[in-house]
Every structure is written in C-alpha cells, then in structure tokens.
Amino acid sequence: MGLRCLLVASAVLAAGCAGWSSWEDQAAPPPPRLAADEYQVVRGDTVYSIAFRNNLDYRELARWNGIGSDYLIRVGQVLRLKPPPASPKPKRINGEIESVGMDDVDIGRPRAVVPDSPPSDMPPPDDGVEPASSYAWVWPTAGGVVRAYGNGGARGLDFGGVEGQPVVAAAPGRVVYSGNALKGYGELIIIKHDDIYLSAYGYNRTRHVKEGDVVTAGQPIAEMGRGPENRPLLHFEIRRKGRPINPADKLPTKTASSR
C-alpha cells in the first residue's frame, strides 16, 4: 500500500513539474516588425524626446499619430516618424462639384464641395516670420566654446569648464524632458520655450529640474558633467521646429570683459 501511494505521488509530481516547465518555456510574443519610418515607445520616452532624437517637430509627430494635446504615449506603442500617405484628391468640376473614383463607395456620384477647415490643433503655416518673443537668450554656462556648431557634424555648441559648474536655462520655459534615455547625450534636459523653440543641455553631472518644472532665464538647472572624452563638457542645442540651428545666432554677443 505504501509503495503504491509513493508511485502515485511521484506520477502527480512529475506531471505537475512538466506543466510548470511547459508554461515557463513558452516563448514571449515576438516584437512587432517595425518599418524604417516607425518607432516603438520604450519606458522613459516622451513625445518631445522621440521628436528630438529624430529631428522632428513634436507637434507634427503628435499629429501624424493621432496623439492628443496632452502628448500622452504608452510603452509599446508604435509611432510613425513620417506623415501618413496623402489621400487621393477628388476631381473637381467647375470648382463646385467633385466626382469620386470608381473604386470609392459612392461610385461616380457627384456631390457638392464643402471647403475643408483646418483642425484646431494644426500649427499655423510657416511663413518664415519669427514669432514676437518676449524673452532674451542667455549663455547656458560660463567657459569657452570648445566645439562650434557644424564642426564635425555637431548639432550645437560644446562648452568646456570645470566639472560641477552651474548650467543655466538659456531662456524661460518649461522642462519637457529630464533623463538619460537618449543615447549620446548623457544626463539630458530639454526645455520648451514656445511653440517654435526648444533648447537641450547634455552631459550633466547632476540634474536639478524635472519634467513639468517652469524655469526662468539664467536659473541653474544642472551641473556640468563629463563628455565622451572624459573631460568637463556641456553640449548645448537650440532646435527650431525640431531642426537644430546654430545657437550662436540666438545667444548674445560676448564682450571682452564677459569672456
């Protein structure tokens, strides 16, 4: 009797272990195959950081992906990095009537044309005119420029100095990114100044601000850290509608006494 119970118990235990093993060995679902113009959101990403990484205007990125004005995204979400393909334009007759293609639902049925009004969240057309800004730019740190914009493909200015020296906001705005998820920037801070301009501060040793903080021009936001060559460095960028511009075009001219 005892031997029979032992055999039954062993069989049950073996079956249970086999069940656990098969459950644990199940392969995780494969990640989605991404096209060249797609990106999958990972933890720590924001609309601003993704747009910054890909030289895009954050408003366009949000519009292409149906993201609301709160700019909320979720981990695992797949975003397109290019505008969706344009819909075929209907044929217009006398500027008042259009007929749709034969492959549309209303086959060949004419209908009155109603002028489309742009969505309320669409940015105004870029007419090349700069918005009237009520703020002035200031230098983001003391010390000289050790690498100029465009030098070796640089998208901003590199400042030398002493490790730990203050890094300040170059203009008033709101912090939209504070973290280290963007490769090649170390501890990074991004500030939104208006609907046109962002500024970025990379290779910080310590960050003093978090996402959502409102800052003023000249306010300390970080401490200078070390760059890729293991020397004190601040990498500073200004982006206009997602595109890097030469920060020297916005920063005030330094006089001999201020150098």
Q: What is the pLDDT of residue 30?
A: 59
Domain presence at residue 86: no
CATH number at residue 62: 3.10.350.10
Q: What is the pLDDT of residue 125?
A: 44
- For residue 91, is it within any domain? no
Give the torsion sign (CA, 171, 173, 175, 181).
negative
Quote the pLDDT of residue 141: 97
Specify the pLDDT at position 85: 86
Low pLDDT (below 70) residues in the chain? 1-32, 87-133, 255-259
**Domain assignment of residue 158, yes or no:** yes
Residue 222 lies in domain: 145-252
State pTM to two decimals: 0.69
Instruction: Give the pLDDT of residue 210.
Output: 95
Instruction: Give me the pLDDT at residue 35, please.
Output: 85
**Residue 218: phi, psi to the nearest 5?**
85, -5
205: CATH: 2.70.70.10
Please tell me whether residue 14 adopts helix, strand or coil conformation: helix
Q: Is residue 2 part of a domain?
A: no
Among 80, 111, 133, the domain-final residue is 80
What is the structure's pLDDT at 254? 74
- Write phi, then psi, for 8 (nearest 5 degrees): -65, -45
Residues 156 and 246 in one domain: yes
